[in-house]
Structure 1
Amino acid sequence: MMADTYGESPLVARADTLVAAADPGAVRLRELPFRAQVNLRVDPKSPAAERIGTAIGVMLPNQGGEVATNNDLTVLWLGPDEWLVLGPDHDTDRILTLLRDALDDDFGSVTDVSAHRTVIDISGPRTRELLAKGCSLDLHPRVFGAHQCAQTLLGRAQVVLLCWDEQRPHYWLFVRASFARHVVDWLNDACLEYRGGWP
């Protein structure tokens, strides 16, 4: 008899902190736990890469920081031969099957990393200002716009930042589970001025 599996978000103990940190008129924060995340490594010029693009309905991005989407999958460029494939909650098995079948016997790897990072959804008019307090990226809309991503540091923690909308600022922050609480605590402190905490 198999035991029931139980998953707990790395931020379950910081749920109240996320709510308290936000100010609806400035910044909104929420966790998106259990997003399907699959790491893909393959030669971008190989037949396997083309088969994978056909199988998932979107070709693999080939420029630094580029993001491609179809109806339910999003593909982030992480390196010259590395991508992060995102899908709906608990959809990992379907994505793994699609990628592995398309990879076939060609050289490459398909790895479930869903438990490696959690996702923090950040939006609101002061979002770029908030992120700039702990991130060295130039987040100006002309430089870092919609459907772009970057690996960077935020509050000294390694993160992946994905921009969904630069006009009405909306980002996803991918943070390693072991650093998730630290990042939320940092965000809480950085949001203090928006809650009237400074004189």
Structure 2
Amino acid sequence: MAETLYPAHPLQAWKAALAELTWAVDGLMVKPEESMAAVDLRVDAAGPGAEAVERALGSALPVEPNTWTHTTDGQIIWLGPDEWLVTSKNARPHELEDSLGQVVSAHGGAAVDVSAQRTTIRLSGGRARELLSFGCSIDLRASAFPNGSSAQTSIGQTGVLILALGSGDDFRLFVRPSFAGYLADWLLDTSQEFRPAH
């Protein structure tokens, strides 16, 4: 009888250490998030395709660089003048790709499932900005990187897509699964700065 194989989370081996970090360091929460559907969307931001996407998702495509907006169950993240990352916690990847593809194909656009391309880590708490600043060259102060901001940048030696969530120090980091372990190790190592001395 064939054995059923289930995908493992890219950060399965780091979950315990990241959970320990959350209670060991006051003002810091680090949590690998469950996988979500993600579609790379290409469409003319000023054309009828963008309006069709807005009707389908219930939210306008963000046109200001380095911003994102909510949908009913996910986010639309600006990646370029005619490119966005659309995420959904409830849709299956192929369903999100198919539905968006049908919306934009008549307008010269395209939708491609990239769900397996990234995994996410949630980082929050009063120490979150300071921790990220040790390895990120962009200005992450709340005045420069407020809620609704996004950036394609590097943390340590790996590329990430970072989103500022909520009104406080709350971030979502998108990272390629093959680099997720490196990023987790970097977070664990750099957070030693905040651990109480014994």
* Fold-level similarity (TM above 0.5): yes
Which sections of structure 1, spanning at least 5 residues, go unmatched?
none
Aligned to 1:32: 33
Q: How does 1:53-92 map to 2 (within 5 A)?
A: 53-88=54-89, 91-92=92-93
Which sections of structure 2, spanning at least 5 residues, go unmatched?
none
- Paired residue type of 1:177: P
Alpha carbons 2:25, 2:195 under 8 Å: kept = no
* 1:85–1:3 Cα change, 3 Å: farther
Aligned to 1:123: 124
Give RMSD over aligned pairs.
Answer: 1.9
Alpha carbons 2:73, 2:90 under 8 Å: kept = no
The CA distance in 2 between the partners of 1:5 and 1:41, in whole Å, is 34
CA shift, 1:5, in A, is: 5.9
CA shift, 1:73, in A, is: 2.6
Q: Deviations over 1:73-108 (max 9, x none)?
A: 310001111101111055323322321121133322
Aligned to 1:195: 195
Alpha carbons 1:69, 1:75 under 8 Å: kept = yes
* 1:122–1:191 Cα change, 3 Å: same
- Paired residue type of 1:190: T
Aligned to 1:135: 136
Greater alpha carbon shift after TM alignment, 94-103 vs 169-178: 94-103
CA shift, 1:20, in A, is: 2.7
CA shift, 1:140, in A, is: 1.2
Alpha carbons 1:56, 1:98 under 8 Å: kept = no
CA shift, 1:176, in A, is: 0.6
Equivalent residues, number:
196
- Paired residue type of 1:94: E
Alpha carbons 1:34, 1:90 under 8 Å: kept = no
Aligned to 2:10: 10
More strand by share: 1
- Paired residue type of 1:70: T
Q: TM-score, normalised by structure 1?
A: 0.91
Alpha carbons 1:135, 1:152 under 8 Å: kept = yes
Aligned to 2:99: 98
Aligned to 1:153: 154
The CA distance in 1 between the partners of 2:91 and 2:20, in whole Å, is 28
CA shift, 1:6, in A, is: 2.3
The CA distance in 1 between the partners of 2:111 and 2:180, in whole Å, is 24
Aligned to 1:107: 108
Q: Deviations over 1:7-57 (max 9, x none)?
A: 221111111221233335221101112111111111112211211111111
CA shift, 1:71, in A, is: 2.1
The CA distance in 2 between the partners of 1:9 and 1:193, in whole Å, is 28
The CA distance in 1 between the partners of 2:92 and 2:192, in whole Å, is 36
CA shift, 1:127, in A, is: 0.5
Alpha carbons 1:24, 1:124 under 8 Å: kept = no
Alpha carbons 2:124, 2:171 under 8 Å: kept = yes
